[in-house]
Chains A and B, each alone.
Chain A
């Protein structure tokens, strides 16, 4: 423990009102600002950590010193994100911090390499404050990790944040966060905390250095309080990586400020039949649809018969991939190892102790539905469903500029509830988000904040490589105080 330095209010708020772009400019030209910034960062991160318990590892009291060191090294050259503070989901590798990934399996594990996106951010001058808490291996937002801590929501006392990274952004401690979105985790946490989330097109950001469990669904994405910050960060990290075979050619990305190109918006006509949809979300979303019509957007309610099967198909496919992708946790080369009289016993003990209950169940589920007996009946069917969902969305987006849904059927749940309270492995929280992961399409969660109630999110699913369109409409709506 250390004593929090007393800091004047003016210093405390020194970067809250600055966009990442403005912050980088200040840091570059003003050495005095850097000093104040370092102090403010210490103050802000310390108090956020104390209040919400969001870091799994960070610099602690050394952060101010570290900030000054790192920035003075980089200040000479022209860097777009110079001195802009950010955090990483604990499931993204950096050299500076361990990657426990919310699992006893990797407690104290230090990766010997860093994620490609992290290298790019570092090259752009961004400052990594630490690693943020995730559910075990980043599977969902609802379950507390077997390592214990649950991050509290800065915008809803007594509620969960969904992820440490979302709390870090919402509390104003950092300008943005980089996280992993596999079934919708990033958008979900953004919805709970009232911030923006961008899950890019599959392959836009390298997956090298992401400690994931479902390679075909997962994608690194960005959390931020401003849509313009999403754009700035995306520009820096959406670069082809020759060492990731699923990484795609860098595509042109140039959002034109806050003028929306999107005019025609599709809404799934069955959006309100999702069983776990809360009244409040339903009401706000319906209001927002009316507002959009009033603003002159063309809204159509269209039939998407496969869209709502996405959580079922996606969770099944993710489980099969997890069963295989998490098989490297065997106690032989790294992480947790329990002794056994023979290899089989070592495996059983290591994996029983190393994985939490939810991950274990998920792996077992994946092993079951890919076994000889059920392979065709479940695994192959789920793959077919994935194809249908993808086709359905692509067809819809030929006609419409984007698809609009609530992000999550409910607002941030209370702290202390278990995932099983929300349907366990049924992924009801992913009712709207999973389809974009299955189809590899970009999706943005737009925060709706209102006095006296919990935040929630609107999800815009865009065309392949349509990140700029999504960011433009978000900027436009924000400007209009939507």
Chain B
């Protein structure tokens, strides 16, 4: 029996986080009371459904296309995809069929240490549908209610070529896609909330073959984990069918999260005829090339490039760099801190240790962190210069995190400046030696550890503000002097 390989293509829907809908000015707030964010346009009322394109949504789609290495169309059209469903107010969805925003792009993923390109066939803008609300399951519910708040919310759909060969590759692609889209700040990309949705077309064929086997369309995968599991399950199911000499039915299948199986939903044999045609309410739109250039300039450094820079320029270990570039804000915090204080390793350690510790403790995101990067830089600088001790720095840091105040302010307010004046410390050291003859004896008798106690006494007298290195030095000098 020849080896079977799996062929996978993904269709990813991403909800853009614009303030208003794609074709009207209704708000897009998540979780609002049902049917409170609607108007004649998004409800498809008679005489009311005149769509006017949200330029911000188009800008987001262009940015996404650029970030995914797509070609940007010089002229775009919006087209009607006609079908009936209760969550679709107009009886057609406005999408892009003939001239989408982006085509022929790619995303790079790393598979077994090698870079692999997953080609993107197209990226287009379209409007979301409403949501059906049921009591319990769809079959047992005595009614269907419809919430049209989501109807008309802008989506981009990203369609890959069938370049993906395993569930793991699909997961890697999707994660990379999410990281990129988060970096360019066009969507929350939360699978659980539905702002990132992924359908997979899965088929198997003899390895090396050019033809494609019958494919199934896999839906209802609501997490990265379920994308992996669903595809993995489906590949195995199809393999077994083919091994047994049975054929794979072309159909839509649902991933059943609870039972970890895929189930047939509806046959694709009588496939829908959407009769797509250009929406006569929206004239074809020229995309201004200087605008595209402006948008291209606004795209920040993307995760791959940033990772490379963190390793090569900052000399950070790969694992640290990966962790930091996993979040655009964290990476930017590092960059911003380094602009004031060029010690990559120290800053990286501080972010991964102290910053993430407090963020996790408070269950906060970096965006709501009050500390300014330059303040962290100055804090670390104060330690280097011996103005404060490492121990003090941690206390000051907590105060900075809580109040957002700069380190100098806190030091001044609490009188926390480290005492590094040899005259002042010398006096205190002398006092301590006088007050603790036993420990002095122990030290001079060879118990070198006894000096720790003496240092502690000095710190106690100075409320922790003494420079510990200096105290150590002075103690040794004084003790040796006296002997």
Contact = CB atoms under 8 A, between A and B. Distances in A.
B275 A375 contact: yes
B127 to A, nearest CB: 14
Given A106-B46, A113-B48, A324 B82 contact: yes
Interface stretch (A39-47, A192-200, A239-247, A304-312): A239-247
A263 to B, nearest CB: 34
A99 B144 CA distance: 28
Given A327-B84, A347-B84, A333 B43 contact: yes
A327 B91 CA distance: 5
B390 interface: no
A246 B283 contact: yes
Contacts of B82: 323-324, 327
Given A215-B280, A372-B273, A334 B45 contact: yes
Central interface residue in B46, B52, B92, by most chain A CB within 10 Å: B46
Instruction: Name B's interface SS.
Output: loop
Contacts of A324: 80, 82, 91-92, 275, 277
A101 B48 CA distance: 14
Interface string B79-95: 01010111001111000
A321 B280 contact: yes
Interface in B35-64: 40, 43-53
B146 interface: yes
A328 B94 CA distance: 13
A332 B275 contact: no
A379 B146 CA distance: 34
B47 A209 contact: yes
A33 interface: no
B45 A333 contact: yes
B349 interface: no
A93 interface: yes
A25 interface: no
A260 B53 CA distance: 41
B282 interface: yes
A101 B46 CA distance: 10
Contacts of A209: 47-48
A67 B283 CA distance: 40
A112 B45 contact: yes
Interface string B271-287: 00101010111110000
Contacts of B283: 245-246
Contacts of B89: 328, 332-333
Interface in A409-432: none
B15 to A, nearest CB: 23
Nearest to B92: A324
A243 B144 CA distance: 32
B50 A343 contact: no
Interface in A99-139: 99, 101, 106, 109, 111-113, 115
Contacts of B146: 332
Contact of A245 (B47, B50, B90, B275): B50
B46 A211 contact: yes
A111 B51 CA distance: 18
A92 to B, nearest CB: 8
Given A246-B281, A332-B146, A115 B50 contact: no
A328 B277 contact: no
B91 A379 contact: no
Interface string B350-375: 00000000000000000000000000
Contacts of B48: 93, 111, 113, 208-209
Nearest to A241: B50
Contacts of B45: 111-113, 328, 333-334
Contacts of A328: 44-46, 49, 89-91
B47 to A, nearest CB: 4
A76 to B, nearest CB: 32
A326 B82 CA distance: 11
A332 B86 contact: yes
Given A112-B40, A245-B53, A324-B91, A99 B47 contact: yes
A18 B353 CA distance: 87
Interface in A332-364: 332-335, 343, 347
Contacts of B46: 93, 99, 101, 106, 109, 111, 211, 328-329, 334-335
A316 to B, nearest CB: 12
Nearest to B144: A343
A171 interface: no
B38 to A, nearest CB: 10
A320 interface: yes
Contacts of A211: 46-47
Contact of B47 (A115, A333, A370): A115
B284 to A, nearest CB: 11
B84 A330 contact: yes
Contacts of B275: 320, 323-324, 367, 370-372, 375
A344 to B, nearest CB: 8
A207 interface: yes
A250 interface: no
Contacts of A372: 273, 275
A401 to B, nearest CB: 28
Nearest to B279: A215
A444 interface: no
The list of the 3 closest CB pairs from A to B, nearest first, reads A327-B91, A216-B280, A211-B47
6 contacts: A208-B48, A215-B281, A324-B80, A327-B90, A330-B84, A372-B273
Interface of A: 91-93, 99, 101, 106, 109, 111-113, 115, 207-212, 214-216, 242-246, 320-321, 323-324, 326-330, 332-335, 343, 347, 367, 370-372, 375, 379
Interface of B: 40, 43-53, 80, 82, 84-86, 89-92, 144, 146, 273, 275, 277, 279-283
